Amino acid sequence: MATYAVIQSGIVINTIVSSQEYITKRMQKRNPGLEFKQSDNVSKDFIYVKEKDTFVVPKPDDGFILDEQKLEWISPKEKPKEVGKDYVWDKETKNWKDVTRKTKVKG
């Protein structure tokens, strides 16, 4: 048994655990518009890049562009590079948000 990504139009719509025989004999015949690709590290909404035969995490937000060489999403604004700070993309403000934990020094 292995995990297979069920792909429609380049997007993973489901994952199933099955035998190769079942995929070949049953699933592909019943679902000619779908692709089935064995992969253990994939989830729903991942993107399948057929030319590279690999999966990419879902697009983080509108405006992000896929770097097809590195297979990484490029944000519309450059991520700050301040040492010691952690940033996440904020979908509401369409900008990077500082999420660095503030620690109090006892003294």
Model pLDDT, residue 103? 66
Answer yes or no: do 53 and 63 share one domain: no
Answer yes or no: do 29 and 50 share one domain: yes
Instruction: Evaluate whether residue 107 is within a structural domain.
Output: no
Answer yes or no: do 6 and 50 share one domain: yes
Answer yes or no: do 54 and 84 share one domain: no
Query: Is the predicted pLDDT of residue 12 greater than 80, yes or no?
Result: yes
Instruction: Evaluate whether residue 33 is within a structural domain.
Output: yes
**Tokens 């064995």 belong to residue:** 38
Instruction: Evaluate whether residue 90 is within a structural domain.
Output: yes
Answer yes or no: do 21 and 66 share one domain: no
Answer yes or no: do 69 and 97 share one domain: yes
Give the pLDDT mean for 36-56: 91
Model pLDDT, residue 105? 63
Instruction: Evaluate whether residue 16 is within a structural domain.
Output: yes
Query: Is the predicted pLDDT of residue 107 greater than 80, yes or no?
Result: no
Greatest alpha-carbon span in the chain: 70
Rounded Cα gap, residues 64 and 62, in angstroms: 6
Answer yes or no: do 15 and 31 share one domain: yes
- The count of structural domains within the chain is 2
Answer yes or no: do 72 and 83 share one domain: yes
Q: Which domain holds residue 48?
A: 2-58
